[in-house]
Amino acid sequence: MKVIYPGSFDPVTNGHLDIIQRAAKNFDEVTVAILDNKSKSPLFTIEERIAMLKEATKSLENVNIDSFSGLLVDYVAKSNTNTVLRGLRAISDYENEMRNALANNSLNNDVETIFMVSKSEYTFLSSSVVKEIASFNGDVKNMVPEVVCKQLKEKYK
């Protein structure tokens, strides 16, 4: 079974990476689909986010990195799967995730969303938290892959 793991990944965190690694074990193929949405004013360009995710997942043979713009359901319709994977960190994620899953399914009845629960050690972790800490020169080395740590230092130097 193939799954699409979509997100902004601005930047990818160890929490995302944990979901990707566990998905790679449990599914035949995992496509990480990065949303290219300039209106969200991301810190990292789409090219930078692709490069960081490629580096962080290079040892995982059944994981590939792609990007999309527009609606997720349109991207899913052009792929060879109908299954979207999302991670759930806490109950607070559930409301948004349920809304998106229902919206996506109402736009395209074939699109199914499945969820993996994040490890408890990553419950607090998000790209926003990482950017905030890094912007004040805080240590994020236990929160993100090494390549992201380097790139954050570059951005905020």
| Interacting residue with ligand PNS among 32, 35, 52, 140 (CB under 6 A) | 35
153 flagged as catalytic: no
Residue 92 tokens read as 């607070």
Residue 122 tokens read as 């990553």
| Interacting residue with ligand PNS among 77, 103, 114, 117 (CB under 6 A) | 103
Task: Determine, following the binding rule CB under 6 A, whether residue 90 of this chain makes contact with ligand PNS.
Answer: no
Q: Per CB under 6 A, which region of 22-30, 44-52, 98-106, 143-151 contacts ligand PNS?
A: 98-106
Q: How many CB atoms lie under 10 A from the CB of residue 91?
A: 7
Does the CA dihedral 111-11-118-97 come out positive or negative?
Answer: negative
| Closest to ligand PNS by CB, 117 or 137 | 117
Task: Determine, following the binding rule CB under 6 A, whether residue 13 of this chain makes contact with ligand PNS.
Answer: no
CA 89 to chain centre: 13
For ligand PNS, which residue has the nearest CB? 7
- Shortest CB 61 distance to ligand PNS, Å: 24
Could you tell me if 11 and 126 are in contact, meaning their C-beta atoms sit under 8 angstroms apart? no
* CA–CA gap between residue 33 and residue 31 (Å, rounded): 6
| Closest to ligand PNS by CB, 29 or 93 | 93
Taking each helix axis from N to C end, the angle separating 127-135 and 146-155, rounded to the nearest 10 degrees, works out to 50
* CA–CA gap between residue 114 and residue 1 (Å, rounded): 12
Q: Per CB under 6 A, which region of 6-14, 24-32, 108-116, 142-150 contacts ligand PNS?
A: 6-14
Q: Which of the residues are catalytic?
A: 16, 40, 89, 127
Residues that bind ligand PNS (CB under 6 A): 6-8, 35, 71-72, 100, 103-104
